[in-house]
Amino acid sequence: MSSTPKQRRYSRIAPTQGSTSSFISLTDDNVRDVDDTEDSPLQEADGSPFQPTKASQSFSDLKLDEGPSRITGHLRNLDTPSSSVASPTLGVTHPSKLGRSSFTSPSESTVSVSSASMISTPSRLDGVPHLQDEHLGDKFAHSSYIPPWTAPYIIGIAGNSGSGKTSISQQIIQGINQPWTVLLSFDNFYKSLTPEESKRAFANEYDFDTPSSLDLDAVVETVRTLKRGGKSTIPVYSFAKHARTDKTNTIYGANVIIVEGLYALYDPRLLEMMDLKIYVDTDLDICLSRRLIRDILYRGRDLNGAIKQWTTFVKPNAVRYINPTKENADLVIPRGLDNTIAINLMIKHIKNQLALKSKKHLENLKSLGYSIEFKVENYPNLKILPPTNQLRGINSILFNKQTSRDDFIFYFNRLSGVLIEYAQSSYFQFTPKQITSFEKHYKFEGLQAKQLQVVAVSIIRSGDCFMTSLKKTFPELSVGKMLIQSDSSTGEPQLHYESLPHNINSIGKILLFDSQTISGAGAIMAIQVLVDHQVEQENIVFVSYLSTEIGVRRILNVFPNVKLVIGKLSSIDIPQVEQEGEKEPEKSSKETKLWYNEERFLDSHWHFRNRFIDSLYFGTD
């Protein structure tokens, strides 16, 4: 049952703030269940195909908000003709690079932009020929589904110490409102000091502001790992002790990566991976006042030592190393956090680029499954409960709107137990075991499960309906959780949370539960998470009570070796497919009476299109 979504705040990693850590990963988002009711991620409320809002690909497409006296921003090195930008109040720092220009008052500018091609990032969105990441190219070649975290939007933010880089990063995080936005701070990647260097650091005689003081190789490898969808471990650095702590943070599945630090725009390897490069240009005197407050109040430094470090190391390195990186920026923001109009303009652009990325993801999901030939007998890895009298009786109770909640819970637990046993008998291996029983030493030839550890992964909260039966079936059970919900504005499925056993790739068969499969988007994303954790497709057993044919088609299209156990499967709605403009599948599913769908249920029928099982089970309608 759909309801008005509430704004919630999720922290990708619980940050440890204070003197020992500067790593923060925080995002706000409006969420709803992936396959929730009529508001399917692939359909509008009226059943028509979802059409995301058109997003602009360049700054010239953006609407600029006028301030009291002027527009914020001037454009540098834009590839678009000057006539395409209407506002005469925008300034240009280097008009010669643009040819003829109608812009005026460069001294009034508050934001500068260069390299428009780097901002629009067509290589991220136009398809396989533009891909530069080999791992991502392999995903396109071998799979028709590309999860959003294998093509994260990467933003680099640089500037002098105290310029306001972190504050602007937080503004971006709150403004774009994207789940799993990772703020990757250079402060976590300072090199550990030797005893002699540590002694110099406590005497404020060690230079922390040169590129050599940072482990840039580790930063590059971390961003590279996250870009290809892998899991990365982030160190935690203590400024009070001038050393890394024993604590680490683990990141997996970043949709947006913000790389923030003094030298974020310094290393060419990082620049190549960034979609948007930002430089925060703040006067050095203001930077000094901010740095003194930070070092004295939050990092345990004394005033004389902080001033000595500024005059000896910080300011000279800023002039020598950091200021020149401004030339690598696509966007320069003078005055830092005070420049609210420029920040709003920047956030609008980032949101437009993310909307394009979301649209591609949705189009990819929607296209899955229609083009394959679907016959149940051709898929040995698809098991559907035989329509016995017991199953017909239980379905008649669960489908009855007059059924009380107590009866609904009782009979769903009974049916989920049947599904779990069917999954065991179909896909789990057993070895012979002889036992001696009773007083006369009777020999009994029995069986024993070959896999001793059982892992059940639940897609919250629909999969939680199976937990009662699981606990009654297995005496010992390891449980994993995933929260996958759809963005309320775009309908894109998004992974918000995952907690899995550390050795999940070496256990064997993994049971994945979702009580209903409607569009298949949530199941595909959950399976992709397991695959990213090195679980083989053949070891994933997806168990679902109600499933649409298009949902099963999409799962098998992307993961042909995953095992499926379905309680009740509907048939694809041929008129709906024709309306979508796709190639019409074989009509045998509608014209012929199928053994698994004697009632000829269609994907568009209410109880297959609406998520109701978890609402009734947990009493939340």
pLDDT of residue 177: 79
Alpha carbon 249 to its chain centroid, in Å, reads 17
Q: How far apart are CA 28 and CA 352, in angstroms?
A: 17
State the number of CA atoms in the 13 A half-sphere of 410 facing the CB.
6
Within 10 angstroms of residue 26's Cβ, the number of other Cβ atoms is 17
CB 101 within 8 A of CB 109: no
E strands, 171-230, in order: 181-185
Secondary structure of 491-534 as H, E, C letters = CCEEEEEEECCCCHHHCCCEEEECCEECCCHHHHHHHHHHHHCC
Task: Give the largest Cα separation in the chain, rounded.
Answer: 104
pLDDT of residue 491: 63
Q: How far apart are CA 585 and CA 573, in angstroms?
A: 10
Among 276, 274, 275, 286, which Cα is nearest to 334's?
Answer: 286
Q: Exposed, middle or buried, 99 (CB in 10 Å: 0-12/13-18/19+)?
A: exposed
CB 81 within 8 A of CB 100: no
Name which CATH class applies to 110-116+147-165+176-339: alpha beta
Name which CATH class applies to 370-618: alpha beta
pLDDT of residue 532: 87
- The stretches in the chain having pLDDT less than 70 are 1-145, 149, 369-372, 439, 487-492, 574-592, 620-621
303's enclosing H/E stretch is helix 303-309
| Helix, strand, or coil (residue 319) | helix
> Where exactly are the structural domains of the chain?
110-116+147-165+176-339, 370-618
C-alpha dihedral, 234 to 240 to 243 to 249, nearest 10°? -10
Read off the DSSP letter of residue 24: B
Residue 259 one-letter amino acid: V
Q: Exposed, middle or buried, 24 (CB in 10 Å: 0-12/13-18/19+)?
A: buried
**Reduced to 3 DSSP states, what percent helix, strand and coil does the chain have, rounded to the nearest 5?**
40, 20, 40
pLDDT of residue 568: 95
Please indicate, yes or no, whether the overall pTM of this predicted structure exceeds 0.85.
no
pLDDT of residue 70: 34
Q: How far apart are CA 295 and CA 360, in angstroms?
A: 45
CB 459 within 8 A of CB 514: yes
Judge whether 110-116+147-165+176-339 and 370-618 match in fold. Answer: yes
pLDDT of residue 574: 57
pLDDT of residue 572: 85
Among 486, 483, 549, 371, which Cα is nearest to 52's?
Answer: 486
Strand partners, 27: 10
